[in-house]
A and B are shown apart, each in its own frame.
Chain A
Amino acid sequence: MEYFVKRTGMAVATFVAVITLSFGLVRLMPGGPMDYIRQMNEGAGQSPDEVARQVELYAAMNPDEPLWQQYLSYLGNVLRGDLGRSTWYHEPVAEILGNAMPWTIFVSIISMILIYLIGISIGAFMAYVEGTRFDVSWSGASILLTSIPFYVVGLVLVSVLGYNLDLFPTGGHYGSGIDEGFNLAFIASVIHHGALPILSLVLAGFGAVALQMRGNAIQVLGEDYLRVARLRALSQRRIALRYVARNAILPMYTSMMISIGSLFGSSIILEQIFQYPGVGYFMFRAISARDYPLMMGTFLFITAGVIVGVYLADLTYGYIDPRAESGDSEAF
């Protein structure tokens, strides 16, 4: 219970810190976002009052109030979901991102599941057959794949499979003319469109997991308790799943949580390559168009997503590893 409270406090504190950072960047940078929005509106020949009102509408803060008041109202606005208005699309930022978010979550979560599923399976198998041809060749392949940045994989895939062989679409969420809803054509089209982005994240990502799993599993295989388990004549299957797999995967849980964040973040580059209108795609658009409200909104959105993901993962960790239940944060 104490752990739960502490963890919740941490998540809220993190989000407030990020909002503060965002406020600082928007409000305090000389010649930064705030000045830019003000200039844009002043140029339109409006009265000072009107300019202030417009700035408040777009940036979700009123430049004429004292700083602390601005900060508090900005904090309140963001927590209520008011992220201002996009200066490019002229729509509320929260609305644009609310529509884009599910797609990014879809790609990131499916990629993460596949990365860990494939990585853990191959890594565990490499550890079991350590030193054989399978182990050596897959270790080499894992190292090679890990060293390729995901955007290079993405570019090669979109270039070869998308443009030149015409096997996969090169943009969008789903084919045009398909009704959105729970029908086979729609689901098939969504998978068809999401396949390449997911594939590039998985190809570039699973190698590192496999190598880590291999190392962990080899270490576990040498432990004394495994000798004992074998002497007790437990079935191979039970040893492999309950003893080796469980103890080898546990140390990877933390890196898995952090990978949620990096997968979310990588959407900025990935969605641009595949013209996949998710959160990262809009962030790129926002920066190109100097659309600061949308840019900061995206940043807050992605961060909020990551904070929630890490928070949920942290809370469930207790179920997976009973040792964490004691809430011993001083554990090494």
Chain B
Amino acid sequence: MKRSESNTATDGGSIAREPAQSPFETVSEIEITRSERYRALVNEYVITPAHILWDDWRARVGFLITLSFLLIGTVGVLLVEETYAGHGDTLVAPFQTMAHPLGTDGLGRDILSQLVHATPAMLEMMAAGAIFSTVMAVFWGVTAGYKGGSVDQTMMAVTDVLMTIPGLPLVVVLAAVIDPSSAWMIGVVLVVNAWAGFARALRSEVMKLRQESYVEASRTMGISLPAIVTKDILPNVMPLVVVNFVTTARNVIMMSVGLYFLGLLPNTGFNWGVMMNAAYGQGGVYLSSLFHWFYAPMVVIVTLSLGLLLLGQGLDRIFNPRIRARHMNTDDEPTSEPQH
């Protein structure tokens, strides 16, 4: 469509010369091709976050640690042979032979192999817990915050009750009575009430957003509730959600390993907590010949926990608009504007 200065109305809008041109058919002056739009999306969602992550050494370390655990859990399992009782001599000290770089345990099982083969179940547990708690919290918080009134009051009463119940005893009791068998189930049980706190935080955020003029505009225009929630509300709380996802994953790991260490969760395959439990049972706290067996899983847990903590802080920075603006590619400004 061609335009000139002469067909611009006083309020800046354009007057259609051709009678067939209705205002509803007016399209944007700047045309964005599909490839340009994709480039903008990639720039916004991939390149800019990557820049920010890479710029901060803490976030970089966190990202690399988390990524390496993901790789160990997927590729590493294929590379490292699964160990079995009597695989090597019992209690081989670490850093002595190439066959068992981290030594062996009291049954001659390779420690490195145990650590690696415990990872997939841990990742599943983390994923299950984080996904369940995020979905629950988002549903609960957004509904309560958006609906308000008696719905909000009822839903918040439920979260208040859940928040007061101490998590660890509740999880222990549930695990003892329900006896969950798969890693996914355990992950869900571990966050059974942990989502309530985040639901409350989300609710207050949504209550603030609800008052924004653009949400009001959408409401006045009669846009459906699901559309408002997904297009206007959710993108704005996404930063909180992503950071919470990582934090929850970290809590799930710390809790599950602690409970496995006590033997309070059903024993399924290799596990860092179970390793600690076995070493502890044979005197790992005081026998220095068992230290490599007892401390190796602890080092792994602390590393993963540190990685997730740093990643969470880094993600927090990614979503901080002030930091974000500095890293945005400013050459193609019109196309890099946020899409939501």
Residues on A facing B (Cβ under 8 Å)? 10, 13-14, 17-18, 22, 25, 29, 32-33, 143-144, 146-149, 151-152, 155-156, 158-159, 162-164, 258, 261-262, 264-266, 268-269, 272, 283-284, 287-288, 295-296, 298-299, 302-303, 306-307, 310, 332
Contact = CB atoms under 8 A, between A and B. Distances in A.
B309 A268 contact: no
A143 B306 contact: yes
A10 B302 CA distance: 38
Given A261-B166, A265-B167, A284-B264, A299 B173 contact: yes
A302 B177 contact: no
Contacts of B161: 13-14, 17-18
Interface string B148-182: 00000000010011011111111011101110000
B325 interface: no
Interface in B274-308: 276, 280, 284-286, 288, 294, 298, 301-302, 305-306
B285 A143 contact: no
Nearest to A140: B58
A269 B165 contact: no
A155 B177 contact: no
Nearest to B273: A151
B305 A262 contact: no
Contact of B165 (A156, A295, A303): A303
Given A149-B254, A149-B257, A269-B168, 12 more contacts: A14-B161, A143-B58, A144-B306, A149-B302, A156-B298, A262-B168, A264-B169, A265-B168, A268-B169, A287-B264, A303-B164, A303-B165
Contacts of B286: 159, 163-164
B63 interface: no
Nearest to A33: B177
Contacts of B157: 10, 13
B164 A14 contact: yes
Given A149-B254, A149-B258, A310 B204 contact: no
Contacts of A17: 161
A163 B257 contact: no
B207 A261 contact: no
Interface of B: 58, 157, 160-161, 163-170, 172-174, 176-178, 197, 204, 207-208, 254, 257-259, 261-264, 276, 280, 284-286, 288, 294, 298, 301-302, 305-306, 309-310, 313
B208 A287 contact: no
Given A158-B285, A159-B286, A148 B302 contact: yes
Given A163-B286, A332-B207, A306 B264 contact: no
Contacts of B288: 164
A265 B169 contact: yes
Contacts of A296: 173
Contact of B168 (A147, A158, A163, A268): A268
A298 B173 CA distance: 10
Given A261-B166, A284-B264, A149 B305 contact: yes
A269 B257 CA distance: 11
Contact of A14 (B160, B178, B208): B160
Contacts of A303: 164-166, 169
A272 B170 contact: no
A18 B207 CA distance: 29
B176 A266 contact: no
Given A14-B161, A25-B173, A258 B197 contact: yes
B64 to A, nearest CB: 15
Nearest to B302: A148
Given A25-B173, A163-B285, A302 B309 contact: no
A283 B173 CA distance: 9
Given A144-B306, A148-B305, A310 B164 contact: yes
Given A159-B286, A261-B166, A269 B258 contact: yes
Contacts of B165: 14, 18, 261, 303, 306
Contact of B262 (A144, A268, A306): A268
Contacts of B262: 268-269, 272, 284
A25 B175 CA distance: 11
Contacts of B306: 143-144, 147
A299 B170 contact: yes
Contact of A295 (B160, B176, B197, B261): B176
Contacts of B170: 299
B164 A283 contact: no
7 contacts: A147-B305, A149-B305, A155-B298, A261-B165, A262-B166, A296-B173, A306-B165
Contacts of A10: 157, 160
Given A258-B163, A307-B164, A151 B258 contact: yes
The 8 closest A-B pairs by CB, nearest first: A265-B168, A163-B286, A265-B166, A147-B306, A261-B166, A332-B204, A147-B305, A149-B254
A262 to B, nearest CB: 7
Nearest to A255: B197
A295 B258 contact: no
A147 B301 CA distance: 9
Nearest to A331: B204
